[in-house]
Structure 1
Amino acid sequence: MSTAIIYSFTSNKTAKAGEKIVAAIGKSFETTTVDADQLTEEEFLAYNQLILGVPTWFDGELPHYWDEFVPAIEEMDLKGKKVAIYGLADQVGYPENFADGIGILGRLMRERGAELVGETAIESYKFESSHAIENDKFMGLVLDQENQARLSKKRIENWVEDLKNIFK
């Protein structure tokens, strides 16, 4: 199985989290790092397993590099692909749409046939609402570097341990 971790190399906090995820994966399974700003449809479809980095921008929006790629994804058949999503969000500054980017991208992946993996608990966060919640869990790993940076290392480690059992 081939695995890509896709995030914007210029989105500082998302890129740093991506690097930490790659380091935590270590030699458990091989990953290729791909810049979301340069992503092509062919490259996206070339991998069986995807780890997608998506911060939530402004009032619950996807960053431009994912938003511009959505029309291509809407035409893709993602059956047979496993997708895990991590994202950065600010539960204090944007409590009414906390981590919405994960939910937007997660639902799109599932609508196109992908298997969404890597859900995480919503406990230990304080927010009003989030499109990233399904069945009382986040659809991926949520990191709040603005308010809970000290918890990110452990959250990444726990999430990657779960992925090691899913991504072979």
Structure 2
Amino acid sequence: MAKVGIFFGSDTGKTRKVAKLIHEAFGSDAVAAPVNINKASIQDLLEYDALILGTPTLGDGQLPGLDCECQAESWAEFVPDLECADLSGKTVALFGLGDQQGYPDAFVDALGELFDIVSDAGASVVGSWPSSGYEFNSSNALDGDDFVGLVLDQDNQPELTAERVATWVAAIKPQLL
């Protein structure tokens, strides 16, 4: 079985596409194909030594399915299991999608929420990402001057996605494999 699992939540399919880009960038049999979180169990995640978890931010900063109208492909039903899981000894890298122009006051807030959940469950989180190159007012995904994971804006900066993914994967690969 693969050593690194990639799991994502999505509402429009953009996060799924990014998860596939990340998988391709690894170019290794040690990384499993991405799985939608609504098709996974907590046991599926616990089978891996390392995890890559991704989410879009919806509305005023929620994870998909939490306090919003999204029903399909969401984190909503999975979060309680994740909050109760023991992720001690697991290394986790996070990525998040957001819209810095449409939601500058809650830019990638769901990424910050996911970070809090996995950190509280004992995971070691790697893969911070610089906040330079983005224009926003506020984000719960900031830790100092850096985001807690890779941040992508497919609405306003899609041309930067491939380069950002490649750079981030090169940085996290040694920490996850």
TM-score range, shorter chain: over 0.9
Letter in 1 for 2:94: I
- Kept in 2: contact 1:2–1:48 (CA 8 A): yes
Match of 1:140 in 2: 149
User: 2:161 aligned to 144, 147, 152, which one?
Assistant: 152
Q: Determine the C-alpha separation between the residues in 2 that align with 1:156 and 1:73.
A: 25
Distance 1:113 1:68 in 2: 20
Matched, 1:124 2:125: no
Q: Counterparts of 2:49 and 2:96 in 1: how far apart (Å)?
A: 20
- Aligned to 2:105, what secondary structure does the other structure show? helix
The aligned residue for residue 35 of structure 1 is 36
Structure 1 ranges of 4+ moved more than 3 A = 8-11
Q: Aligned equivalents of 2:149 and 2:25: distance in 1? A: 16
- Structure 2 unaligned blocks of 5 or more: 66-73
Give 3-state SS (helix, strand or coil) of 2:110's partner.
Answer: helix
Match of residue 87, structure 1, among 89, 96, 112? 96
Deviates more, 1:144-153 or 1:32-41: 32-41
**Cα deviation 1:40-86 (Å, max 9, x = unaligned):** 12112111111011000111000122122111112111100011111
When normalised by structure 1's length, the TM-score is 0.94
* 1:107 aligned to which of 107, 116, 128: 116
Task: For 1:49-68, list aligned pairs within 5 A.
Answer: 49-64=50-65, 65-68=74-77
Give how far 1:8 is off.
Answer: 3.7
Task: Give TM-score scaled by structure 2 length.
Answer: 0.90
2:93 counterpart SS class:
strand
Supply the RMSD in Å over aligned alpha carbons: 1.5
Distance, in Å, in 2 between the alignment partners of 1:148 and 1:9 is: 18
- 1:40 & 1:11 partners in 2: Cα distance? 22
**What secondary structure, in the 3-state scheme, does the structure 2 residue paired with 1:131 have?**
coil
Q: Indicate if the aligned counterparts of 2:112 and 2:141 stay in contact, CA closer than 8 A.
A: yes
- Tell me how many residue pairs correspond in the alignment: 168
Tell me the residue number matched to 2:71.
none
d(CA) in 1 for partners of 2:54, 2:117: 14
User: Any conservation in 2 of the 1:3–1:32 contact (CA below 8 Å)?
Assistant: no
More helix by share: 1
Identical columns (%): 40
